[in-house]
Structure 1
């Protein structure tokens, strides 16, 4: 993670001083690798520290922070470019990444602790044994008294808790063999492709239909971004009501509301309510997936959180790559309404496979 943040600072600086096309390509590739490293390791560190039943709120908070940066970044970059020139946004971001690098250097490596359920019967019985008064003749012992009695203490109170397979090495291939991981990756590709697919095509629709200028398009996009700040609440709901339930409900909401965004209307601002539902539903799709994948690793004994979140980042990147390409082809062939209907059909077709087939 330290190398990732340092690489992010250096590659962003290189962006500002690049003078040729290939220098920009190299800077962009380096920036993507560095950002992916810090993002993946950061999620893995959180999963190491927090127990699975609290990961929903934690990952929701992370996604909300990501949305905050996604929201203020373009506006801040535009102001810096307008008043201080081309290199100013990159210099500012590289300085910010350098301070983040210094902050990461102060973060201690998380200790691998066993997340014990304090409500379990074994722990409750142990507390009972500790608090129970001992007989008078057993209160005082001399050096001849054995510290450990014969036989396990809990032999008459059920079997001890089942140990985890912490010695088994978890590989990327072994994770991909579990259907829960595959279904989460499929849902991630779907969610990121739909969200990234509407980003380049919605401005075209707004300009062609409503003759909206750049500032108006930016305000309309806020309708998608603002609801994603509710990601911590979405994570809390997924911890309480089930991650599959919340994610599947988000998929259904996106499928239902996508065509409403493209319906003809005479008033521009009528598009705002369906866009807000779209933004919230997109958060409902992706937020529960992170803790669900982390819990799978926890059940396998832990130690591979970075690996599973690397798979998540790969799936998210695939969706971000495929979504705009498919959306661009669809809007040219069938228009914006046809594109939204195609997204709906894709979600409805893939949802049973992703959520109801074998997700245990």
Structure 2
């Protein structure tokens, strides 16, 4: 949709507001996850009934269908990030992603063979690459600089709601109304998503129409979107190096953000990185590599259950597709705390929350190996461990999502303090950073189903449980060292500031 410079679009202030853009991205994320997860409890039954797969091969093809989604997302994400940072509009690739999502839904609906289902999953993965890469970059463009993790908390909540509602509705609708009814829900949700994506107006375009109320009035830096702060800095050609204020509580309203910038400053090398492509330059940061590892582990832990949990409860408890959908409730309900977790991460930094999340998830995963027969006590134990695991995972995801944008911001701030200008060029690198995020998530989504599915098939449920718990515990180590910047360098800088303030 093109806008005439002399005629502002109708409801401009509403359609370009932070809350509306956040809602649009949340709806897009919810739609993507819903369409991915709604058929999770249905696929084992559909493979047997529609694609005529033998029962003893269902687990194999379930794992393949889940993993192929992650593989497509992994391959497409870097291209989506590169394209989004070089286009004048982030909404345009979001609309293209809807086309891929619609095509995927149609193929999965009408397909009655394994190859067609695989092709549909590939298109779903491409759509997810667009939504997560471009959508999160747009959210960072819009968010207040000191509240990124809180905004990411709302996205995490939307994702968790999709994981919660989709398998539940998929199981209920499939058992009561059949396969076609499941896809009727999906087409309706795609229609809602279309409306939101067409109504959205990016802040960069909304700023072209200055209202009398905002004309001549400055916007405080703390209230401006991150992209606006970056663009304003680039325009100050007569004073390219901004003095660094002393680190006092009155001058640094967000101590976690200040620590993030300082923690990255010492990791950023001088000229070599500035001449590299943005993605390569970002990958030179150990802090970003840690964040990407965390994302990959989170995705692997989440998707591992998609491949094994429906079949496990069917085999162990005799549950139908309805029960296979309901069993996801304990995992997802704790995600309603995601905005609060994001707020805490903005205030105190990501290190302690993410580390605690990985450490506490490990024992709950390991204890799942105790569930091995059909009884009320075993069902309660399974649901309890899944709920505690869901809470632990929720401590990690919003901080890690915000950590990706913090690395970009820290590198830009560090380069400008040295008089080098932006290391990523005019287009910035937020979309490419979230392309790396999405690539890591896709890699985890590809690894998790294979890991869980093949370990269960060859070594049993108990071995799968303790192996995933060990992976979570190991991930806490690099998270503690690098999340929010090098722990050693951040603490050293804080001691120096404390000593300076004491002398003053």
Select the structure of larger CA radius of gyration: 1
Contact between 2:175 and 2:321, CA under 8 Å: does it hold in 1? no
Give the aligned partner of residue 464 of structure 2.
339
1:58 deviates by: 0.8
What whole-Å deviation, never above 9, does each CA across 1:39-88 have from its counterpart, x for those lacking one?
Answer: 32111111011134211111111111122122222333445545655344
1:213 deviates by: 5.1
Give the aligned partner of residue 355 of structure 1.
480
Structure 1 length-normalised TM: 0.77
Contact between 2:146 and 2:222, CA under 8 Å: does it hold in 1? no
What whole-Å deviation, never above 9, does each CA across 1:166-205 have from its counterpart, x for those lacking one?
Answer: x988611111111111100101111211222234334455
Structure 2 length-normalised TM: 0.57
For residues 312 and 116 of structure 2, the distance between their equivalents in structure 1, rounded to whole angstroms, comes to: 34
Contact between 1:49 and 1:111, CA under 8 Å: does it hold in 2? no
CA 41–259 in structure 1, closer or farther in 2 if over 3 Å, else same: same
CA 298–341 in structure 1, closer or farther in 2 if over 3 Å, else same: same
1:26 deviates by: 3.0
1:98 deviates by: 3.4
1:240 deviates by: 2.0
SS of 2:396's equivalent in the other structure is: helix
1:24 deviates by: 3.5
Select which of 427, 435, 442 maps to 1:310: 435
Q: Which moved more, 1:49-58 or 1:210-219?
A: 210-219
CA 256–94 in structure 1, closer or farther in 2 if over 3 Å, else same: same
1:284 deviates by: 1.4
Give the aligned partner of residue 230 of structure 1.
337
Verify: 1:67 aligned to 2:195, yes or no. Answer: no
SS of 1:31's equivalent in the other structure is: helix
Q: Which moved more, 1:52-61 or 1:19-28?
A: 19-28
For residues 381 and 108 of structure 2, the distance between their equivalents in structure 1, rounded to whole angstroms, comes to: 40
Select which of 190, 193, 208 maps to 2:297: 190
For residues 77 and 340 of structure 1, the distance between their equivalents in structure 2, rounded to whole angstroms, comes to: 26
SS of 1:186's equivalent in the other structure is: helix
Q: Which moved more, 1:172-181 or 1:258-267?
A: 258-267
Contact between 1:12 and 1:91, CA under 8 Å: does it hold in 2? no
What whole-Å deviation, never above 9, does each CA across 1:3-22 have from its counterpart, x for those lacking one?
Answer: 11233224323433345544
Give the aligned partner of residue 451 of structure 2.
326
Verify: 1:53 aligned to 2:146, yes or no. Answer: yes
Verify: 1:254 aligned to 2:361, yes or no. Answer: yes
For residues 208 and 86 of structure 1, the distance between their equivalents in structure 2, rounded to whole angstroms, comes to: 22
For residues 6 and 18 of structure 1, the distance between their equivalents in structure 2, rounded to whole angstroms, comes to: 18
Length, aligned pairs only: 321
Contact between 2:154 and 2:338, CA under 8 Å: does it hold in 1? yes
Give the aligned partner of residue 187 of structure 2.
94
Give the aligned partner of residue 8 of structure 1.
101
Verify: 1:271 aligned to 2:382, yes or no. Answer: yes
SS of 1:51's equivalent in the other structure is: coil
**Over aligned residues, Cα RMSD in angstroms?**
3.3
For residues 200 and 134 of structure 2, the distance between their equivalents in structure 1, rounded to whole angstroms, comes to: 12
Contact between 2:354 and 2:476, CA under 8 Å: does it hold in 1? no
Give the aligned partner of residue 44 of structure 1.
137
Q: Any unmatched runs of 5+ in structure 1?
A: 119-150, 153-157
CA 294–13 in structure 1, closer or farther in 2 if over 3 Å, else same: same
Q: Any unmatched runs of 5+ in structure 2?
A: 1-93, 208-218, 224-237, 247-264, 413-423, 487-504
Contact between 1:206 and 1:212, CA under 8 Å: does it hold in 2? yes
For residues 212 and 247 of structure 1, the distance between their equivalents in structure 2, rounded to whole angstroms, comes to: 34
